[in-house]
Amino acid sequence: MDRRRLLAGLAALAVSQVACRSNTANALQIMTLKGVLPPQLLNNFKSGLAESEQLRLTTRRDWADLFQQLQAWHPSANADATEATASLSADWVCLSDYWLLAAIQQQLIAPLQDIEQLPGWSTLSAAWPTLLRRNDQGLLAEAGSLWAAPYRWRYLTIVYSRRQFERLGWQPSTWQDLLNPDIQGRLALPNHPRLVLGMMLKAGGHSVNDPDPTAYPDVVRSLATLTPQVKVYSSDYYLQALIKGDIWLAVGWSTEIQPLLSQYRQLSMVAPDPGTLLSADVWVKPNRQAEAASAIALTELEQKWLAYWWQPAVITPLNLFSQGVSPRLLTTQATTGVEGAAEARRPTVQQLEQSEFITPLAEPAIARYDELWRRLRRGE
């Protein structure tokens, strides 16, 4: 190879490396649950990007897969990882708020800097910083860092077969209705202690985050009554059992149930009184450092991405196409913004006032919940 060809080749390589770095700086790599991001809204976001800006999307099957991906990217799991391998990680990952505790404790994500300065943040309910501000152990802390940005929220509901309840002459509308002897052996509940015990706490007018459910005799009695009502505890296959008629009603998240209502007309969904349990899907920033990361400043493209989901124009399509509810609607003042039947099924203003996110508990409280759950599953 002559000198002229060698120099030309080196120049081309340098140009391509600069272009690659430039493209990477202006590209946003997003990883989320399959089907969570509506194509209509993604296309709308892309249409507002500059020519040099790019959005790249990859998906995973479930929340556990996303959490495990964060673990796999962490330097402690990749001591021999090359720079090329590290570059395959996403800039932002969608995670359920339930996983924040472990993600922070394992130093898998980084706190966010200046998120409160983003357009639209000031319009969000105070419940969001309360939920997302944590200490380095993942527990709620007023003086903690903000670890995530909200994307959407959902709520725990009762879904039931109208035909069965028309014959009974009543319809479920409260958590207390799950104890009615008419439905003995016909109920499916989530296979999750915080959800089931939280429902019975809420039925008694207590907080779903109470550190000691055993302190309330009404809750203990309700749990004893609940045992013969349940045919199956399942977080995955309860809808199939309901459609087949093996059960008459079930408890599940609104985002899972709403898509089926138009297909299976015999099913109805209700947000139970007095209030319900809430869960959020949030954007988190993977930590690429071996130790705990300090707060990370956001690029202009990242700011656009996070703030996009809080825009008023996104409220209705987000609910219609993703089945989730806009972060802007997590307030008792927001009674409009989602059209049609979806709005009618959302918690009312009064219900929302009594609804709660499931937040982390201290170790002694977790032990009490676990023991009560074991007793419930043993039928004691």
Question: What CATH number is associated with residue 234?
Answer: 3.40.190.10
Check whether residue 161 and residue 238 sit in a common domain.
Answer: yes
Report the C-alpha gap between 15 and 246 in whole angstroms: 64
Tell whether 224 is covered by a domain. yes
- The pLDDT assigned to 333 comes to 52
- The pLDDT assigned to 115 comes to 94
Which sign does the torsion angle of CA 149, 282, 32, 267 carry? negative
> How do residues 155-173 score in pLDDT, each as one tens digit?
999 999 999 999 999 999 9
Distances (CA, A) of 33 to 109, 256, 365: 17, 13, 31
Check whether residue 65 and residue 109 sit in a common domain.
Answer: yes
Nearest to 159 by CA among 249, 221, 78: 249
Residues 6+ apart with CB under 8 A from 259: 323
Check whether residue 298 and residue 365 sit in a common domain.
Answer: no
Lowest mean pLDDT among 22-36, 152-166, 234-248: 22-36
Check whether residue 239 and residue 215 sit in a common domain.
Answer: yes
Give the helix/strand (H/E) hosting 155: strand 149-161
Range of the domain at 180: 154-276+359-378
SS3 content of the chain, % helix, strand, coil (to 5): 45, 20, 35
Check whether residue 55 and residue 129 sit in a common domain.
Answer: yes
Asked whether the predicted pLDDT for residue 252 surpasses 90, the reply is: yes
Our count of domains for the chain comes to 2
Report the C-alpha gap between 370 and 375 in whole angstroms: 9
> How do residues 257-280 score in pLDDT, each as one tens digit?
999 998 999 999 999 999 999 999
Give the helix/strand (H/E) hosting 92: strand 92-96
Check whether residue 103 and residue 128 sit in a common domain.
Answer: yes
Report the C-alpha gap between 180 and 113 in whole angstroms: 50
Say if strands 356-357 and 249-253 run parallel, antiparallel, or are unpaired: unpaired
